[in-house]
Amino acid sequence: MINARLHAGKLRYIGMVSVPEIGLSLPISKGVNDIALTFGAGTLYPDQEMGKNNYSLASHFVQGSSNKKVLFSPIYYEGKTGQHMYLTDMSKIYSYQATSVKVVQPTAVEVTYNQPNKNQLTLITCDYTAERGRVVMQGDLKQVYTWHDAPKEIRDSFSRTNEWHKS
């Protein structure tokens, strides 16, 4: 954690992810490393494009009852099908609806693979034990807005912060 804070200035954010029903709102960095995953979410593949194919992100799960709103921990505790999931590059907003929340084996990387004719979002974090599996929340793309044409409540969902400082 200390190392991540010391090197946080080296992060380059490319957008944000939000799941407002569970209080999740985090910046997205290109790639996954300890620094990126300590402060937000990271892309799993270098050539991913928001709104196209399977846009896959990972972030840490933080154990403990006071950390239920930290990073991707809300997915473990409160993620459900039907919830709205949003991505933004600050130019467009990509609106998804969750179709599944499940625990998979840590080796089940196929959940991040592209599916024919399907644009989806995949959010991945560890389950409570980390060794037992990964919690995967997936949703299908429903709509794309320009930033200015998106409903205010969707735009506002990106300004909320996970409760890191409140817990």
Cα distance between residue 148 and residue 120, in whole Å: 23
Catalytic: 7? no
Cα distance between residue 84 and residue 95, in whole Å: 7
Residue 73 amino acid letter: S
Contact 43, 35 (CB under 8 A): no
The one-character DSSP state at 30 is S
Compute the Cα dihedral for 102, 67, 42, 157 and give only its sign: positive
Contact 147, 88 (CB under 8 A): yes
Q: Which residue out of 60, 84, 148, 165 is catalytically annotated?
A: 60
Q: Which residue out of 84, 126, 148, 165 is catalytically annotated?
A: 126
Bridge-based pairing of strands 92-104 and 120-126 is unpaired
Catalytic: 126? yes
- C-alpha distances (whole Å) from 112 to each of 30, 103, 136 are 16, 14, 10
Catalytic residue IDs: 60, 126
